[in-house]
Amino acid sequence: MHIKLFIIFELIILYLCFYEILMNDSIKYVLKLWIKQLKVFD
């Protein structure tokens, strides 16, 4: 039982780290697109 809880906890941490990386990448991508749009308006 204790080991199962530990494994679940580890999986949650891994998932959160992975999610953070994905979000950071998409935010960078969106910012790049947004900057391109601004340059077009200039």
Residue among 24, 17, 26, 29 at smallest CA distance from 37: 29
What was the pLDDT predicted at 21?
A: 82
Model pLDDT for residues 1-42, shown as the tens digit of each residue: 688 989 999 999 999 888 888 888 888 888 888 888 888 765
User: What residue spans define the domains of the chain?
Assistant: 1-39
CA angle 20, 24, 28 (to 5 degrees): 170
Single pTM value for the model = 0.48
What was the pLDDT predicted at 41?
A: 67
What was the pLDDT predicted at 35?
A: 83
What was the pLDDT predicted at 10?
A: 94
